[in-house]
Amino acid sequence: MVAAFDEMKGHLGDVRPAYGELSRWLAEVPPDVLDYRRREAELIFKRIGITFAVYGEADAQERLIPFDVIPRIMSAAEWRLLEKGLTQRVAALNAFINDIYGAREVLRAGVVPDDLVFRNPAFRPEMSGQKVPHNIHVHIAGIDIVRVDAETFYVLEDNVRTPSGVSYMLENREIMMRLFPELFSRHRIAPVENYPDELLATLRSVAPAKTARDPEVVLLTPGVFNSAYYEHSFLADKLGVELVEGRDLFVKDEIVFMRTTQGARRVDVIYRRIDDDFIDPLTFRPDTALGVPGLMSAYQAGNLTLANAVGTGIADDKAVYSFMPEIIRFYLGEEPILKNVPTWRCREEEHLAYTLDHLHELVIKEVHGSGGYGMLIGPTAGKVAIEQFRAKLKTSPKNFISQPTLALSTCPTCVENGVAPRHVDLRPFVLTGRNGVRIVPGGLTRVALKEGSLVVNSSQGGGTKDTWVLDG
Amino acid sequence: MLSRTADNLYWLSRYVERAEYLARILEATHRLSALPLAYVGTSNEWESAVATAGCSAALFATYDEANESNVTNFLAFSTANTSSIRSCFELARGNARAVRTALTVEMWDSINTTWLELKRFGNGPTSSEEFSRFLRWVQESSLRFDGSAYRTMLRNDAYWFSRLGVYIERADNTARILDVKYHLLLPENERVGGPLDYFQWAAILRSVSAHTGYHWVYRESLKPWLVADLLILRDEMPRSLASCYEAIVRNLDSIAGAYGRQGPAQRHARGVRMRLQNSRMDGIFQRGLHEFIGEFIAENNRLGTLVTEQFLT
């Protein structure tokens, strides 16, 4: 594996311009000050109660995501490139989903194989032929980006169902401004605090066209036991909309209402942070109490906007991902600005053979997996794990893809004994409304705190950083 | 506002209020049980503490005997008892977490800090000094929460529902003390006890933090019928039934005003308030103190049900 590109020192060790001030500051600041601020940050997070839950850990119902106080910095030019690439990517994702549930030209043209769509558990036949307000399916996307050198960014994953993490982007900035005002005054950093406003404007803009009143927007959460509950309540608060659970809503005559202390109140837009499967027991999984019976009838009658739309999962599965460059060319007639990580689809014989031959150097991912669960990182995996995956691959090759192990870029990070480079990724949040795309500059930087680790997922011990986009 | 949000706010306040009440009951009981038997007679104060907390049946399902260690553990730290101080704080924090958006930062901070600090006490204190520190901490936590609600919340329906929780719970708590101790508070000619009861009266006053207040209101030594009067009919005593209902009616009126609509809860509360205003202690003694208290507890529960039906579901 090649040495990772360090975002502060590049490949050669010379401090890159965007990091000039930070690197001077790091050299000046006494280690105990850094350590003190770090503990202070942790205390603040704990008191505000910014927690998440890790599934499968009984004693960790609520846990803090470690926060690293050293910011990750991008230049304005780097961000402009990302912004263009993200806008393009999300436009293609929306066009693709609209097509899949509409004319299906992409299938007839043979760009994407039929069975990848129709045999995909995320495909929702209920949505076939269903118009959604303003033809927008993905209102909120979280696109995971990794970097391998000064010029090259890859899209690692598209998240177009219910992407999370934006609350950390906002809270990280708040805490940094509180703890390091002097560092802020040495930079000009593009703000992110307007994200909730942009989100609200986006949600209101996509209300059903026939909504005559001011649209009533709500945020639907599965409830306090969901791992992202903190974020749901945080966002509802910043948006100034009600945070509802399924039991707070009911459907009458194909119209959705919420139960209030003053009786029923009509709802027009639901920013839902609950998966398709659980949204309406009458249409999807009947064994859940999280959703709202009849919600789909209101949706299908055009009386409701769901953000994101039902069935968007068809576009972010890892097998469809591998077709994204073709999908972008097909709908937009443009070359992809952001690259895809080269991907072997194990459903294809040659790809499977290649994968099996190179297990020790590849990353193997489950097609429908997420959150860093169910993946194998060849170079660091033990023999037993590799053989287990070999067996899995042979039994159900369709469930897997493989990719080269990327040398993710690194950023200076506080560790046990000082400051050291650690691998990072970036999840910017892309909003699409009736009047176009909005992206606040930055996003959530996740960092693998263990030395050498490439897994940045919070459920696997990753942390977060504030992400600074320099202005001009 | 969402019915569920109102419901969470209402119960959040109730649980915090209940935790404080339990702490005061435990404190008063400790005081009584520390006195030589000659001063307090042979009654089992621990048993009566559990009765006052309304969980005798639950205690005896777990323990054979109501003694200091069993009752202390059961009322303060037990996770099996859903009304223990620990459970109350945990439930309160659970409710708070469910409606974070409806809380002010100060309220969240206060209840979340309480919940975090609760862990420090583990499964119970190791010494009686530590236990009395714990009880003081519970009361301070409740005061801090109540104060942050009072000082930082907007005066809208969210505030009124959280106040309703406080006062309905408080009325229930005061009534329960009276229900268990009524026999100590009868007028002179009906009294069954003896001069030993003096310390019982003082303990009752302490459990509603009115020991000093009593002297300012009556300027007299402790008389059981005056203790009853203070706890039932005096508007100026903040834990009296009358005072709780004054506040309940006021908050329900604010809700009705804002919503432009009256309902069964308002009418019922006004009825209870009126009966309290029109009562005198001799009348109550004549009809039977115990019956009066029993009826009040039922009426207060009925109000809880009506509030739930009208607003919270």
Q: How far apart are CA A319 and CA A344, in angstroms?
A: 9
A255 contact partners, CB below 8 Å, separation of at least 6: A266, A298, A303
B157 touches A at CB < 8 Å? yes
The partner residues of A446 in beta bridges, in order of sequence, read: A425, A464
Which of A237, A258, A262 is the closest to B101 by Cβ?
A237
Beta bridge partners of residue A448, listed in sequence order: A462
Q: List the beta bridge partners of residue A260.
A: A263, B2
H/E segment holding residue A371:
none
pLDDT tens figures, A303-320: 999 999 999 999 988 889
Question: Taking CB atoms and an 8 Å limit, are B4 and A46 in contact across chains?
Answer: no
Predicted pLDDT at A52: 53
Indicate which of B100, B161, B255 best probes the interface with A, i.e. most A CBs within 10 Å of its own CB: B100
Q: Which of A268-277, A374-383, A434-443 has the lowest mean pLDDT?
A: A374-383
Nearest to A224 by CA among A63, A458, A52, A55: A52
- Residues A7, B286: Cα–Cα separation, whole Å: 86
- Which position has the token pair 């401004």? A177
Please state which of the ranges A77-86, A137-146, B23-32, B244-253 shows the lowest mean pLDDT.
B23-32
pTM score, whole prediction:
0.83
Query: Is the predicted pLDDT of residue A340 greater than 80, yes or no?
Result: yes
A236 touches chain B (CB under 8 A): yes
Residue A461, pLDDT > 60, answer yes
Calculate how close chain A gets to B160, using CA atoms only, in Å.
12
Which chain B residues are Cβ-neighbours of A171 within 8 angstroms? none
Q: What are phi and psi of A426, to 5 degrees?
A: -145, 130
Residues with Cβ within 8 Å of residue A68, at least 6 apart in sequence? A413, A414, A422, A447, A449, A463, A464, A465
List CB contacts (< 8 A) between B113 and chain A.
Answer: 47
- Locus of tokens 């714990």: B134
> At A437, which helix (H) or strand (E)?
strand A436-439
Chain B residue with Cα closest to A230: B97
Residues 109-138 of B with CB under 8 A from A: 109, 112-113, 116
Runs of H (alpha helix) within B79-220: 85-98, 105-118, 128-152, 157-181, 198-207, 211-218
CB B205 within 8 A of CB B199: no
Sequence-ordered list of residues with C-beta below 8 angstroms from that of B223, at least 6 positions apart, any chain: none
**Residue A163: Cβ-neighbour burial (10 angstroms; 0-12, 13-18, 19+):** buried
- Of A1-15, A273-287, A412-426, the poorest mean pLDDT is in A1-15
The residues facing A404 across adjacent strands are A362
* Residues in chain B, total: 313
Q: Does B108 touch chain A (CB under 8 A)?
A: yes
Checking if the pLDDT of A58 tops 90, the result is no
Distance of alpha carbon A422 from alpha carbon A428, whole angstroms: 19
Q: Contacts of residue A260 in chain B, CB cutoff 8 Å? A: 1-3
- Rounded Cα–Cα distance for residues A273 and A458 (Å): 18
Flag whether pLDDT at A426 surpasses 90.
yes
B259 and A262 in contact by Cβ < 8 A? yes
- Closest-CA distance of chain A to residue B101, Å: 5
Write the burial class of residue B196 (CB in 10 Å: 0-12 exposed, 13-18 middle, 19+ buried). middle
Answer whether B70's CB lies under 8 Å from B56's CB.
no
Residue at token pair 């001069």? B195
- Please name the residue that has the structure tokens 């039932």: B232
B94, B101, B313 ranked by CB distance to A233: nearest = B101
Tokens found for residue A157 = 């994953």
Tell me the shortest Cα–Cα distance from A260 to chain B, in angstroms.
4
Contact yes or no for A247 and B313 at CB 8 A: no
User: A418 pairs with which residues across the strands?
Assistant: A415
Whether a cis peptide bond, with omega within 30° of 0, leads into A308 is: yes
Q: Could you tell me if A244 lies within 8 Å of chain B, comparing CB atoms? A: yes
pLDDT of residue A55: 43
- Dihedral sign from CA coordinates of B98, B104, B106, B107: negative
> What percentage of chain A exceeds 90 in pLDDT?
70
- Taking the Cβ of residue B256 and every Cβ of chain A, the question of whether any pair is shorter than 8 Å is answered with no
Contact flag B259-A229 (C-beta cutoff 8 Å): no
Lowest mean pLDDT among A206-215, A218-227, A461-470, B31-40: B31-40
Task: Please indicate whether, in this complex, the C-beta atoms of A237 and B5 are within 8 angstroms of each other.
Answer: no
Interface predicted TM-score (ipTM) of this complex, two decimals: 0.78
DSSP B39-71: HHTT--HHHHHHHHTT-HHHHHHH-S---HHHH
* Test the A interface: residue of B99, B101, B262 with most A CBs within 10 Å: B101
Q: Report in angstroms the alpha-carbon separations of B30 from B58, B69, B81, B210.
A: 21, 11, 20, 17
Whether residue A382 has pLDDT greater than 50: yes
Chain B positions in Cβ-Cβ contact with residue A246 (cut-off 8 Å): none
Distance CA(A443)–CA(A173), nearest Å, equals 10
HSE of A316 in the Cβ direction (CA atoms, 13 Å)?
A: 25
Nearest CA among A405, A409, A407, A408 for reference residue A9: A409
> What DSSP character marks residue B74?
I
Size of interface A-B (CB pairs under 8 A): 52
Contact map slice: A 412-451 vs B, CB within 8 A: none
For residue A261, the chain B residues in CB contact (below 8 A) are 1-3, 6, 157, 161, 255, 259, 311-312
The pLDDT value recorded for residue B38 is: 63
Mean pLDDT by 10 residues, chain B (313 residues): 94 97 90 73 78 87 89 92 94 90 89 90 81 93 96 95 97 92 74 66 86 90 90 95 98 96 95 96 91 96 96 91
**What is d(CA A28, CA A17) in angstroms, rounded to the nearest whole number?**
18
Q: What is the pLDDT of residue B193?
A: 53
A 15-54: CB under 8 A from B: 46-47, 49
Contacts of B1 in chain A (CB under 8 A): 242, 260-261
Do A259 and B4 make contact, defined as CB atoms within 8 angstroms?
yes
Predicted pLDDT at A56: 41
User: How confident is the model at residue B98, as a pLDDT?
Assistant: 84
Q: Mean of the pLDDT values across residues A439-449?
A: 95
Per-residue pLDDT tens over the stretch A121-135: 899 999 999 999 999
H/E stretch holding A404 reads strand A400-404
Q: Which residues of A touch B97 (CB under 8 A)?
A: 49, 224, 229, 233
The verdict on B100 touching A (C-beta cutoff 8 Å) is yes
How does the average pLDDT of chain A come out, rounded? 91
Token couple for A357: 């031959």
Calpha distance A127→A296 (Å, rounded): 10
Over the stretch A201-213, which tens digit does the pLDDT of each residue have? 999 999 998 888 8
